[in-house]
């Protein structure tokens, strides 16, 4: 980390540990400059980063203060409690039903899986596409079959290099979005009937992929702040014939949790020792709210057992459907499976992305995007704190654009989803995020629609609906409260 990032990280840890409390004044720029022998610009950069993360706020002519609600809560969301048995998967009908009802443009898209398209540089991408198509050699339509355009794979390889990873372009297969990458990875390391270890709760797309391939799932305990519990994983793979793991170690969907670097290293080592492939879903990794992008688990892969899957859909170019997989020892199999399934990925989209990555500042775009998402998260948390029932618990991820809420006993999130639809509000009920639909009082909320003036009203309406459910089922309703518990994941 840079010097200002280290300073910000130190202050953030003190805030979350409670040694710096709400409304405490931080040392002035002059004080820190003198005490630590650092420049004023370093202190300002650290405070700007903490402000973007929603931990501190600037008060006119008074300095910087710890923001209310930034400290670690006394009662955070508990780790999940998986059913330690294999399960068949049958979620697609529910997923299709829920998602089909929330696609209208007029719907407040709190249940969407995508950030606002207004956050992305579509004009620059379109200009790059125009330039690339004018220069395109007709023979590229043949040469750029799977594994994909060589220049784009080179640019992606350079992105890995920028975070200290050596992933050669020859290991990469370009795909039609991350879902194709993940499905190809699953196909390359499993056979129908095999058992796959997954997080709980988990991304419903993973459940659908297992269902489609006739695979069974076994769940692993997952903490809403620190991700996959490695002792739980060890028990699972000791007791069950796990053929692969599908995990999202960075900014997991739906909880937003991120495993530490040490935990990622241990995860990769544990699985490699047992020759179990890790399918790493890393589509949100670039969306860190701070300046540092957490390295993927692939960074510790020495023997090629990690199949790292990502895309540009969440960070740069939604709709262009460009993803990839770094397949390690499975790269050749992935390339063959890609050829047999879809032959190639759309060449114009590949050329547009290659043009942008070569000539534009992806990192400058990411800095603006990360800052916007961080500020939007802080606003959404304030509204949830203000309007949701007493006892609601909510995560506070350090990246991505999802919040995971646990509502009080007596609230059914699927019924809440149906009631919200009638008000023009979409949410993702917790039922979607496990094979046995156990998360019946949980919600995933998307805060990635920057500046939507309907956000506060929609959160207020959801809070009113939840309170109404509580009153009808328990006889108690809680004014929305300042007692919403936040897990600072």
How many Å apart are CA 140 and CA 130, to the nearest integer? 16
pLDDT in tens, the chain (489 residues): 578 878 887 888 788 767 788 889 999 999 998 889 999 999 998 898 887 667 888 888 889 999 876 665 544 566 666 765 666 776 777 777 766 655 677 889 999 888 888 899 999 999 988 988 888 888 777 777 889 999 999 999 999 998 899 999 999 999 999 999 999 999 999 999 999 999 999 999 999 999 999 999 999 999 998 899 998 999 999 999 999 999 999 999 999 999 989 899 999 999 999 999 999 999 999 999 877 789 999 999 999 999 999 999 999 999 999 999 999 999 999 999 999 999 889 999 999 999 999 987 899 999 899 989 988 998 899 899 999 999 999 998 989 999 999 999 999 999 999 999 999 999 999 999 998 888 999 999 999 987 788 999 999 999 999 999 999 887 765 554 444 555 543
Q: What is the pLDDT, as a whole number, of residue 481?
A: 47
Q: What is the pLDDT, as a whole number, of residue 449?
A: 87
Q: What is the 3-state secondary structure (H, E, C) of the chain?
A: CCHHHHHHHHHHHHHHHCCCCCCCECCCHHHHHHHHCCCHHHHHHHHHHHHHCCCEEEECCCEEEECCCCCCCCCCCCCCCCCCCCECCCCHHHHHHHHHCCCCCCCEECCCCCCCHHHCCHHHHHHHHHHHHHHCCCCHHHHCCCCCCHHHHHHHHHHHHHCCCCCCHHHEEEECHHHHHHHHHHHHHCCCCCEEEEEECCCHHHHHHHHHHCCEEEEEEEECCCEECHHHHHHHHHHCCEEEEEECCCCCCCCCCCCCHHHHHHHHHHHHHCCCCEEEECCCHHHECCCCCCCCHHHHCCCCCEEEEEECCCCCCCCCCCEEEECHHHHHHHHHHHHHHCCCCCHHHHHHHHHHHHHCCHHHHHHHHHHHHHHHHHHHHHHHHHHCCCCCEEECCCECCEEEEECCCCCCHHHHHHHHHCCCEECEEHHHHCCCCCCCCEEEEECCCCCCCCHHHHHHHHHHHHHHHHHHHHCCCCCCCCCCEEECC
Q: What is the pLDDT, as a whole number, of residue 145?
A: 81
Q: What is the pLDDT, as a whole number, of residue 452?
A: 80
Adjacency order of strands within the sheet including 442-446: 428-429, 442-446, 402-406, 393-395, 485-487
Q: Is the peptide bond before 254 cis (omega within 30 degrees of 0)?
A: yes
Sign of CA dihedral 189, 190, 196, 201: positive
Give CA 233 to chain center in angstroms: 21
How many Å apart are CA 232 and CA 132, to the nearest integer? 49
The CA distances from residue 175 to 284, 311, 417, 457, in Å, are: 17, 9, 33, 39
How many Å apart are CA 290 and CA 14, to the nearest integer? 17
How many Å apart are CA 486 and CA 195, to the nearest integer? 34
Residue 245 Ramachandran class (φ > 0 left, ψ -120 to 50 alpha, else beta): beta
DSSP state of 489: -
Q: What is the pLDDT, as a whole number, of residue 101?
A: 58
pTM of the prediction? 0.83
At 409, which helix (H) or strand (E)?
A: none
Q: Which residue has the tokens 């994983």?
A: 233
């Amino acid at each position: 980390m840079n010097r200002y990032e280290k300073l910000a990280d130190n202050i953030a840890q003190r805030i979350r540990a409670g040694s710096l409390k709400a409304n405490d004044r931080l040392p002035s720029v002059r004080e820190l400059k003198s005490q630590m022998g650092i420049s004023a610009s370093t202190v300002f950069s650290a405070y700007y980063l903490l402000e973007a993360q929603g931990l501190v706020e600037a008060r006119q002519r008074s300095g910087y203060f710890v923001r209310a609600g930034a400290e670690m809560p006394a009662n955070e969301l508990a780790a999940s409690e998986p059913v330690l048995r294999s399960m068949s998967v049958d979620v697609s009908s529910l997923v299709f039903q829920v998602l089909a009802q929330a696609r209208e443009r007029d719907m407040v898209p709190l249940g969407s899986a995508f950030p606002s398209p207004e956050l992305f540089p579509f004009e620059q991408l379109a200009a790059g596409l125009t330039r690339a198509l004018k220069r395109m050699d007709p023979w590229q339509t043949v040469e750029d079959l799977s594994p994909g355009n060589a220049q784009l794979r080179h640019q992606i390889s350079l992105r890995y290099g920028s975070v200290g990873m050596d992933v050669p372009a020859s290991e990469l297969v370009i795909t039609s979005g991350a879902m194709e990458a993940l499905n190809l990875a699953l196909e390359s390391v499993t056979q129908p009937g095999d058992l796959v270890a997954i997080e709980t709760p988990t991304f419903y797309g993973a459940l659908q992929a297992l269902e489609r391939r006739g695979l069974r799932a076994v769940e692993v305990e997952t903490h809403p702040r620190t991700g996959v519990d490695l002792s739980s994983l060890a028990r699972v793979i000791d007791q069950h014939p796990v053929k692969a793991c599908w995990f999202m170690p960075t900014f997991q969907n739906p909880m937003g949790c991120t495993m530490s670097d040490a935990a990622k290293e241990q995860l990769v080592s544990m699985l490699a020792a047992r020759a179990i492939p890790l399918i790493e879903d890393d589509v949100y990794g670039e969306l860190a709210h701070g300046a540092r992008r957490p390295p993927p688990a692939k960074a510790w892969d020495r023997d090629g057992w990690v199949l790292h899957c990502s895309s540009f859909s969440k960070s740069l170019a939604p709709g262009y459907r460009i993803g990839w997989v770094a397949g390690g020892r499975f790269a050749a199999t992935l390339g063959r499976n890609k050829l047999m399934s879809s032959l190639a990925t759309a060449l114009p989209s590949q050329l547009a992305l290659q043009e942008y990555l070569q000539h534009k500042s992806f990192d400058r775009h990411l800095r603006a995007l990360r800052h916007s998402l961080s500020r939007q998260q802080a606003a959404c948390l304030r509204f949830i704190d203000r309007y949701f029932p007493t006892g609601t618990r909510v995560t506070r991820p350090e990246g991505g654009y999802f919040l995971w809420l646990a509502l009080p006993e007596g609230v059914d999130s699927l019924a809440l989803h149906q009631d919200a639809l009638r008000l023009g509000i979409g949410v993702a009920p917790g039922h979607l995020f496990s094979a046995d639909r156990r998360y019946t009082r949980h919600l995933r909320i998307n805060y990635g629609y920057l500046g939507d003036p309907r956000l506060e009203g929609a959160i207020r309406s959801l809070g009113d609906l939840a309170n109404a459910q509580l009153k009808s089922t328990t006889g108690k309703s809680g004014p929305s409260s300042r007692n919403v518990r936040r897990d600072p994941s």
